[in-house]
Amino acid sequence: MWYVSTRGIAPRVNFEGALFSGYAPDGGLFMPEELPQLDRETLCQWSTLSYPGLVKELCALFIGSELLPKDELNDLIDRAFSRFRHREVVHLSRLRNGLNVLELWHGVTYAFKDLSLSCTAQFLQYFLEKREKHVTVVVGTSGDTGSAAIESVQGAKNMDIIVLLPKGHCTKIQELQMTTVLKQNVHVFGVEGNSDELDEPIKTVFADVAFVKKHNLMSLNSINWSRVLVQMAHHFFAYFQCTPSLDTHPLPLVEVVVPTGAAGNLAAGYIAQKIGLPIRLVVAVNRNDIIHRTVQQGDFSLSEAVKSTLASAMDIQVPYNMERVFWLLSGSDSQVTRALMEQFERTQSVNLPKELHSKWERQDYEKMAVMECDGCCVELCLGNCGPRRGSMTDIPGTAMVRGGG
Ligand SMILES: *Cc1c(COP(=O)(O)O)cnc(C)c1O
């Protein structure tokens, strides 16, 4: 499997290349060159798999056994989930009226990022050991990412992790999660300022290409393809748990509500949909509503400042992974995506081209709508069994809140 940049200029890379890259050299994000199509038979076979089983199948599909043999891949994934508290790793709780909650919080730090980061760290360690290399992961955090990244990397032989922790901006529990891991390879620094201000020095460091190369620095944020890949399994697992039978024509549609900040899990769901999973995606944002404005009005523009809400993990100005969504929407058109993103980087404000926005509405609006929950947000991923009824806002229970991750 090859990966190409959404901006079409950088040379293609394999999974290992994408795993270590973060951004592509042309500023884009890596995406699979071709998306496989899963047929009904494959979906039926997958429908009885456990959550780790689904992660294994999806990773095998997108990594390639010449790079990572299947049995070794399976071991890495088993190791990644070995410290989860729930025997299923991910659990679907059934509420009333066909409403379900996908419990993604059974990892060590309780953040759903534990799932994808633990696998990603295993992949990194695997390739580093094989190539006898070492990296230092540098992470700024508003809470969830720091804890989960530390947990996934702690004790790894070929990795160190440096976390910048904005003092007073994380919860007490998160602060303790970050400062009480006594492993040689974990380095946490308390810093002044909020997570936006914290991004500045990190950006400066990563802009110094020679420095980054000399010290083998990398980031582990949600633009990393490996994280998106693993998150596809959430959608497959939820789908199969919600569909009692796959004998109907067409296959049943399940609606998944994705709380989003950087649109990582959303991009994962959209790719899952593109390769054949019959889901309808609903994006939940908080007052940081750039994705809402983009879908409704084609207005992809920064607001003045990040607004603090109860769900700090979603208090994000720039939803990086929307670039992947735009690329998919445009039919893998890297020219359109590049023009759009470069204009956004220059002016921080883009009106989506009509063709793109209308495509979204006509073809994908049915599959992607946006729900806004003022102040707080839905911090749960919901699958709605059975055919669609009415609009998103009439589904009860979506105001359930889990603040701050
Ligand atoms: C990271 C995080 C999000 C945002 O996830 P993305 O898929 O990157 O948008 C939302 N909620 C919680 C609790 C998180 O930790």
Per residue in 134-176, pLDDT (tens digit) is 999 999 887 789 999 999 999 999 999 999 998 888 889 999 9
**Tokens of residue 15, six digits:** 């999974």
Query: Does the CB atom of residue 309 touch ligand 1 within 6 A?
Result: no
Mean pLDDT over each residue of the chain, to the nearest integer: 87
User: What DSSP state is assigned to residue 381?
Assistant: B
Ligand 1 atom having least distance to the Cα of 113: 15
Q: Is 111's C-beta closer than 6 angstroms to any atom of ligand 1?
A: yes
Q: Is the CB of 144 under 6 A from ligand 1?
A: yes
Q: Coil, strand, or helix at residue 58?
A: helix
To the query of whether residue 56 is one of the catalytic residues in this protein, the response is no
Question: If pLDDT is split at 50, 70 and 90, which confidence band does 359 have?
Answer: confident
Q: What angle separates helix 264-274 from helix 225-242, to the nearest 10 degrees?
A: 60
Residue 265 Cβ inside 6 Å of ligand 1? The answer reads yes
- Ligand 1 centroid–CA 113 distance in Å is 7
Tell me the best of 104, 144, 174 to mutate to test the pocket of ligand 1, counting ligand atoms within 8 Å of each CB and taking the most.
Answer: 144
197 token code pair: 């201000």
* Residue 156 CA neighbour count, 13 Å, CB half: 31
The percentage of the chain sitting over the pLDDT mark of 70, rounded to a whole number, equals: 88
Q: Distance between alpha carbon 320 and the CA centroid of its chain, in Å?
A: 10
Ligand 1 contacts CB of residue 379 (under 6 A): yes
Candidate of 271, 314, 324, 376 to mutate for ligand 1, largest count of ligand atoms within 8 Å of Cβ: 314
In this structure, the strands spanning 186-191 and 217-218 are: unpaired
Given 70, 113, 130, 214, the catalytic residue = 113
Tell me phi and psi for residue 287, to 5 degrees. -65, -15
Q: Taking a C-beta distance cutoff of 8 angstroms, is the pair 280, 253 a contact?
A: yes
pLDDT digits (tens, 9 = 90+) for 214-271: 999 999 988 999 999 999 999 999 999 999 899 999 999 998 888 888 999 999 999 9
Pairing of strands 382-384, 254-259: antiparallel
Can you give the pTM of this predicted structure?
0.90
Residue 132: Cβ-neighbour burial (10 angstroms; 0-12, 13-18, 19+): exposed
Binding site membership of 255 for ligand 1 (Cβ less than 6 Å): no
Three-class secondary structure of residue 109 per DSSP:
coil
- Domain ranges, ordered by start, for the chain: 226-384
Closest alpha carbon to 217 in 13, 391, 36, 20: 20
226-384 in CATH: which number? Answer: 3.40.50.1100
- Kindly give the number of the ligand 1 atom that is closest to the alpha carbon of 262: 9
- Residue 402 — very low, low, confident or very high, per pLDDT cuts 50/70/90? very low
Task: Please tell me the distance between residue 52's alpha carbon and the centre of ligand 1 in angstroms.
Answer: 20
Distance CA(8)–CA(6), nearest Å, equals: 6
Does residue 116 register a pLDDT over 80?
yes
Tallying the residues shown for the chain, one arrives at 405
Question: Do 187 and 163 meet the contact criterion of CB atoms below 8 Å apart?
Answer: yes
